[in-house]
Structure 1
Amino acid sequence: MDSTDLSVLNAAIEWLHAGRRTVLATVVETWGSSPRPVGAWLAIRDDGQVVGSVSGGCVEDDLIARIRSGELLAEDVPELVTYGVTREQAARFGLPCGGRLRLVIEPAPEVGLLEELRARIHAKRLTVRELDTCSGRSVLRDATRGETFFFDGRLMRTLYGPRWRLIVIGAGQLSQYVCEMALAADYEVVVIDPREEFAEGLANPAITFRRDMPDDAILDLTVDAHTAIVALTHDPKLDDMALLEALKSPAFYVGALGSRTNSAKRRERLALFDLTADEIDRLHGPVGLFIGARSPAEMAVSILAEITAAKYGVPIVQKRAFAERERAERHTLLDTMSSACRA
C-alpha cells in the first residue's frame, strides 16, 4: 500500500517521463473548516487524470476543467489559487460553511528533482522540498521530525517521508496488518522479533526488521516524541522487556496486546521494576479501541485508530466508557445472583 504522498509522486514521475504535461497542486493555507490539511497535494495530467486530493472532490473538478482548457498549462511559473472566498464559491466547490483553501499550482515540476525526492523517501530520509513560487525552482534538503509545513506567500516548504515512526514488537499475523496500515499512514515502521520462528520477518522491503532483544533495540533506536511503540507478541518475556524501556521513553503512545485480565497482571509485574505509577499509567492495554474486532485485520484497524487519536491529542474516552459499562453490568449480574440465592 502506498501513502497518498508517494502515489502522487509516482504518478507525476510516470506521466512526465511519458511526455505528458503534469501539474502539481498543494494546499498552502486554509481558513475555517477545510476538507484537507496544508501540505495535501495532487497531480493532474493534461487530459484531466488525477491522483491525490486537495478537497472533497469539487475543487478537483474545477482544476480538471481548467487544465483541459489549457488555462493551468499556459504559465511556466507557479500561481496561487483561492477557493471558497464567497458563500457562492463555498457552495459551488462543496466546501463547508465558511471554509476556504489556497493552493499553489506548479505547471512545470522538475522530473529529476521528483525522482530524487522519491529516492529519499524510499531511503527513509525525512526531506523538505522548498519551492520558490516566483521562479518555480525547487531544492531538497534533509529535515528533522520537529519541522512543519511552511508558506510565507513566496516560499513553500513541504515535508515528505517518515515524519512519524511505529515500532512493533512481534512479527506475527496481526503485526503484518498493523504494519501495512501504518505504512499507508506515512509511518516509518520497525519490527523487532528475536524468535527463530519469525526469522524471515515481514515480506515488505519498506519495513525494517530487527532480530535483537526488544529492550536493547528500543534503546538503540533513540525513541522520540514522534514514535509509537506497540507490543504484539502476546509473550510476556518479550512484551514486558520492550515495555520496561518504552514506558520510560518520550514515545507518544505505548500499547500492548492482551485481555483486561492479562493487562492487569502485566501492570502488577511492571510495578516490580523501576517504573513509576505515572509511567505505568501511560500503557494502553488492552491495546486498541473497542470496536468488537475479531479478525487480525479488524484488530489492526482498532490499534491504528487508537494510535491516531494519541498522535493528534484526541482524548481516548470510548474504551473507558465501555469498561465502565461492562463493570456496571457485572455488578448488576452479581446483585441479581445474590438476590436469587437469598430467595
Structure 2
Amino acid sequence: MNSLDTEVLQHALEWLREGHPVHLATVVQTWGSAPRQAGAMLAVRKDGRVVGSVSGGCIEDDLIARAQGGQLPSKPEWARYGVSQEEAARFGLPCGGTLRLVIEPLKLGDWIDRVVEVTQAQQLVGRWLDLATGVSTLTDARPGQLTEVKEEGCHFVYGPHWRLLIIGANQTAQALAKIATMLEFQVIVCDPREEFTADWDMPGVSLQTGMPDDAVLEIQTDARTAIVAITHDPKLDDMALLEALKSKAFYVGALGSSRNQTKRRQRLLDFDLTEDDIARLHGPVGLQIGSRTPAEIAVAVGAQLVQVRRKLEDERVAGLTHPPKTT
C-alpha cells in the first residue's frame, strides 16, 4: 500500500500511459486557515476525473471545470485562491484562508516516472521545477525538507519524511504497517521468529530478521523515527525498548495492559535507564479508544503517532516563523 501522495502520482502516470491529458496541481504556500498544507497534490484529467485533494472540494470543482473546458495551462503557472473574502467564500476556504498553487501539464518520459518508482520504494526524492522553461530536475532530498518557493520556480519533496520501526511481524504489525505507510512513514518490521516471518509479504515494507535491539542501532534511529514494540514477548519487546528509550526516537511505544506496563517499567529500571528515559515510553501504546482487534489497535497507534508528529511539526514551523529574540 502506498502513501496517498504516491497514489496521486501513480494514478496520474497510469492515465498518461492510457493517453489522457493530465495536469497536476500542487499547493506551494498557504496563508490563514487553509484546508491543506504545502505539498498537497491533485491530478486532473481532461475529462474531469481527479485523484488527490488541494482543498475541501470547491477548488477541485474549479480545476475540473477548467480541465473540461480546456482552460488549464500548457506550461507551469501560478494560481491563487482565496485572495479576497468573497473568493474565500466562493471556494469554500475558511475566513481569510489563501492557497497558492502551481498547475502544470504532465507528460510521459518526464520526472513523474522516476518519482513514482522512488516513492513506491519508500525513498525520498526532490524536484526543482523551473517555471520559465517548464523543465523539472530531480534532486537529492532530506527528511523534513519543506516545499521551497521562489519566483522562478519551486522545489518539491516526495516520499516519506518519517520512519516507523515495528517490533513484531504479527497481524497488528500488518495493519499498522498499512496505516503508517499511508501516513507517510517509511516502515521497517523486525522479528527474529521464523514462524512469524516465513509468510510475511508486504511490498514496500522492509523486513529485518535480526534481534530487535540490533535493529534499533542498525537503522541509525534519529529524531524522525518512531519505534513500537508489539510482539507480546517481553524478551523481544524489552530488548528493543532498552535501546529505543536511550535513542533520539521521537516516539517509543509498547503494547500491553496498564498492569503489564507497570511490570515492564520496573524491569527496565534494572538496566542502565533513567527515570526520564522510561517516562518517554508510551504504554499502553496508542490513544485510548477501547481498541481490541489488531486493526483497532493499529488505528489507535497511528492516531497517536500523528498527534505526536504533528506537535513536533507545528513547533518546528513556529520556530522557523518566529525565531527567538536575541538580547
- Shorter-normalised TM-score: what interval? over 0.9
Greater mean alpha carbon deviation, residues 27-36 or residues 194-203: 194-203
Which residue is equivalent to 1:5? 5
Provide the C-alpha distance between the structure 2 equivalents of 1:109 and 1:281, rounded to a whole number of angstroms.
Answer: 52
Corresponding residue of 1:328: none
Please state how far the C-alpha of 1:294 moved relative to its aligned partner. Answer: 2.1
State which drifts further: 304-313 or 240-249.
304-313
For 1:90, the aligned partner's letter is: A
Contact 2:8 2:42 in 1 (8 A): yes
Please tell me the residue identity of whatever aligns with 1:98. Answer: G
The equivalent residue for 1:18 is 18
Tell me by how many angstroms 1:282 deviates.
Answer: 0.5
Whether the 8 Å CA contact 2:13–2:108 is kept in 1: the answer is: no
Question: What secondary structure is seen at the aligned counterpart in 2 of 1:266?
Answer: helix
Q: Which residue of 2 aligns with 1:230?
A: 228
TM-score relative to the length of structure 2? 0.92
The percentage of counterpart residues that share the same residue type is: 54
Q: Report the equivalent of 2:145.
A: 147
Aligned position for 1:194: 192
Distance across 2 between alignment mates of 1:32 and 1:194: 49
C-alpha distance 124-142 of structure 1, shift in aligned 2 (>3 A): farther
Q: In structure 2, what is the equivalent of residue 60 of structure 1?
A: 60
Partner in structure 1 of residue 256 of structure 2 = 258
Partner of 2:315: none
Q: CA deviation at 1:201?
A: 5.3
Determine if the alignment matches structure 1 residue 177 to structure 2 residue 162. Answer: no
SS in 2 for 1:76: coil
Shift of 1:196: 2.4
- Pairing 1:165–2:163 present: yes
CA RMSD across the alignment: 1.3
Structure 2 match to 1:336: none
The equivalent of 1:287 in structure 2 is: 285
Shift in Å at residue 91 of structure 1?
1.2
State the one-letter code of the partner of 1:99: G
Q: Is the 8 A contact 2:6 2:120 kept in 1?
A: no
C-alpha displacement of 1:110: 5.0
Alignment of 1:59-208 (within 5 A): 59-72=59-72, 75-109=73-107, 111-200=109-198, 202-208=200-206
- 2:239 aligns with one of 241, 253, 256: 241
Q: Does 1:211 align with 2:209?
A: yes
On the 8 A contact 1:125/1:142 being kept in 2, the answer is no
Query: 4+ runs of 1 displaced by more than 2 Å?
Result: 107-112, 122-125
Distance 1:60 1:146, change over 3 A: closer
Q: Any idea what SS the aligned residue of 1:275 has?
A: coil
| Partner Cα separation in structure 1 for residue 108 and residue 93 of structure 2 | 31
- Quote the Cα distance in structure 1 between the aligned partners of 2:199 and 2:147: 35
**Alignment: residue pair count:** 312
Q: Which digits, 9 at most, give the CA deviation of each residue in 1:65-101, with x for residues without a partner?
A: 11111111xx432111111111111111110111110
Q: Which runs of 5+ in 2 are unaligned?
A: 313-327
Q: Is the 8 A contact 1:162 1:186 kept in 2?
A: yes
What is the letter of the counterpart of residue 248 of structure 1?
K
**Secondary structure in structure 1 of the residue aligned to 2:56:** coil
* Greater Cα offset, 10-19 or 196-205: 196-205
* Letter of the structure 1 residue corresponding to residue 279 of structure 2: D
Aligned counterpart, 1:42: 42
Q: Decide whether the 8 Å contact of 1:13 with 1:111 is kept in 2.
A: no
Matches of 2:243 and 2:305, distance apart in 1: 19
TM-score by length of 1: 0.88
In structure 2, what is the equivalent of residue 333 of structure 1? none
Between the aligned partners of 2:164 and 2:234, the Cα distance in structure 1 is: 20
- CA deviation after TM superposition for structure 1 residue 122, in Å: 2.6
- Deviation at 1:181? 0.5
Q: Which residue of 2 aligns with 1:221?
A: 219
Structure number with larger C-alpha Rg: 1
Q: Report if aligned partners of 1:171, 1:201 keep a CA contact under 8 Å in 2.
A: no
- The unaligned stretches of length 5 or more in structure 1 are 315-343
Contact 1:24–1:109 (CA<8 Å) still a contact in 2? no
